[in-house]
Structure 1
Amino acid sequence: MARLFGTEIPNEKRIEASLPYIYGIGRSTSKRILEQAGINPDIRTGQLTDEQLTKIVQVITTDGILIEGDLRREKQSILKRLASINCYRGQRHRRGLPVRGQRTRTNARTRKGKKKTVGAQAKKK
């Protein structure tokens, strides 16, 4: 398996489909990277030469594409800033509720977690 930026990318897939295994690179970004590097997107990852791999790395670094740890740190700092300035989005992130205006009376189980019954309890005899 080829290793780019600390991520193993599969050898048997096309390079265009293998690059999105790196956090921060999607399909369209991978197409753009391969176009700038001058590499055929239909080549399998295992068939790439070391020169082509370094060209891909060079294109990613020169374009300033945030990937892996840098991108994760950036996203985390944005969420910390939102929480620290006490804005609505930051409060929702802090409480673990939906951030983008979704309803919470029903649904929203992915954000809220397992259902907790509040209020009516069964009578004991």
Structure 2
Amino acid sequence: MVEASSAPHIHDASTYDDLVDWGMQPDSVEGQSKSTGRLVHKGPNNQPESGIWVCTPGRWRLSIPRDEFCHFVAGKAVYRSDAGEEIAVEAGTVVMFPGGWSGECHVIETMRNIYMLV
């Protein structure tokens, strides 16, 4: 549960399981990735937004609208930009995707990402 305080938080975010069904991942290229998650905080005009995102295996197109900081705490995935850059992620990986980054995400093992979209 997101604790009500001046600093919203979730204990044990890497194993927290009270997640909400966010549906199928849009723009699928291969497989049927399903997303679940929990919003921790959303500020004025939806900025910043932070939370937990869990996604099952599959591959899809994506375009990141604003800078997004991601701390992957479980699973494996490969992000490939339209420019050919490849970023392999697994538990312990931290990535700062700049706004406008676009390409594909291929989730190999169900991943869990603690994120902040600014």
- TM-score in terms of structure 1 length: 0.21
Greater helix content:
1
Larger radius of gyration: 1
Identify which of structures 1 and 2 has the higher relative contact order when contacts are C-alpha pairs closer than 8 Å and 6+ apart: 2
